[in-house]
Structure 1
Amino acid sequence: MPLSAPHAAILADYTAALEHAPLADSTRTKYASRLRGYLAWLTDQADAGTLDGDPLTDPIAATGAVRDFRRHLKTGRRAPNTIDTYLSAIDDFYTRRGLGKPQAHRERDTRRTTPRALDTRRTLRYIRHVQQTASPRDKAIALLPYYAGLRISEVVGLDLADLRLSARKGELRIRGKGRDGGKIRLLPVHTDLRQALTDWLTTRADWKGADTHAALFLNHRGARLSDRAARDIITGFGAAVGLNDDPAEPFSPHVLRHTFATQLIRDGKDPILVAELLGHGSLDTTRRYALPTEADKAAALDTLVTDP
């Protein structure tokens, strides 16, 4: 559906604002696309005269409109994850307009599922394959989401100045995403990750752009490596060791981040500490990693007494 002229201008302004946000390229594209769908729906509702107030200036009207839009998506049989990405984009849009987040429930809030994480066997399979086959650059990229819990946008956003290494320890400076774009968190560097980063820094000196570009990870043209290229590196390693065997939950860099968090939470680490390491703004997000999996439920039933 075409947008009205005012809505088209709003979308253009929002898209321009996203260019300066510390988000992955894929996230910017998705947010702009999702907002366009919402604005198109608002255009249709305005033409039909069904809007109660102005949802672009009134927070109460905005909440009502977003809830109606959520019902519209559910009626259209949109997948729960798709609905949630629409709502995330709309939240970001309204936050940037200064109206705050509309009060609309997420689909994931009702499903309460544990994020996909690798078990010990698959984690070791992935790490060993990366250690044995990857180039120095690709090895560091492939290990950062697991050993540091980084988002892929944070991996490619690293500058040389964000990394401090010594013979025995290291530190990463990570800039926040979204509304926390100005927030910095400092992460200690795992021993195995420190070695991979040290090897890459040695190799990086001979790469095109090494003396002129601030980015930690370069492409072969001497520019900053893109989000998509880094993602393809990681998913390629995953495919090589059979981690793409579940089409419903495909392997991605975020699965490694989930694995990082899940292992820490299940090892008894304080959720506040894990939230700080992950850069979460809400403990509710971190607590998802403590939710029981289907395997946990099956294992619990196996403990019941049976008649031999």
Structure 2
Amino acid sequence: MKKSLRVFLPLLLALFFLTPTKAWADTANFSIKKVDTPEQTKAADFYDILAKPNQNTHLIANITNASDQQSTYTVTLRNGVTNDSGQIAYVPNTKKASGQTLNQLSPTAVKVTVPANSKKDVTIPIKMPATTYSGIILGAMHVEKETAQQKQTTKKAQIINHYGIEIPVVVRTTPSSTPDTKLQLKKVTAGLDTNKHSAVLATLYNESNWVLTPLKVDAKVYRKSNHKLLYSSHKKGLEMVPNSSFNYAIEPGDEPLKAGTYTLDMTAKSDKKTWHFSSEFTIKRATLKENAKNELKSPEKKKSINIIWLIVGFSILLLILIILYLLYKLRQKTKEQ
């Protein structure tokens, strides 16, 4: 079980700047609290660090072990990513990241043991980027407790419950400034959405070092041949981590995706910026066939398919009965002659 506790960034939520520091708690009898350092820029519930390039600095957290047993905790820095629901999440490591990541500033995990019913500070060293970095680096401090007593043995595998808490971390080498946000449409294809349903997937990429929030997207898909509107999608309250991408899904509704050539018309808005994208794309039968192997049919679609097969089966049975009846009548007429 992992619990991700996220807050909005200081760029947009000034209300948080005046709130006192609080402790993040988990159900596993432990909590963590941010300890401010000289590099902390604002009074907030998350880390907001401003330091010079190449400077060696650190993050400090106070861990409270509320259990009656000594416990060991692993502390790591996780990278901010944008999941395919268009929300911020934190992952252990981002391979092939296009920008600077938090984990690169401190890739080594730190372990700390806290006696029962006690508190203890843990320090995570950070090596700032070598050059001035315009924008922010976003991630989270992740504190995890592994409880050996909660191992469950099965015939094939051993399941271990992990309990973790996260505090968001913002790192910068220059003071706050007006964000220079940039958004790209990388590609459009047919695929599966987060619910494993068929959808048109438009890959959006935030190529800036700033967070896009809140992000609103309106998308429409037309048939190229007659410019007929087929599918549309309207979503708001989305967020994008710096230098990240995600697949914006446009669900076809009750109509299944079909092979052909289409045009995507999309408008995205964040703060005072607006981006408009238009892209022609082709869906191939082979792609739809491959997607169908992993697609999870919704109950409505399953019910619809079952009804169709029921009608087909009943029609075939009725046809057979009619043929048998006609053959019977023909045989009776032959006997009479």
- TM-score of Structure 1 vs Structure 2, range by shorter chain: under 0.3
Q: Which structure is higher in RCO with an 8 Å CA cutoff and minimum separation 6? A: 1
Q: TM-score, normalised by structure 1?
A: 0.27
- The structure with the largest helix share of the pair is 1
Larger Rg: 2
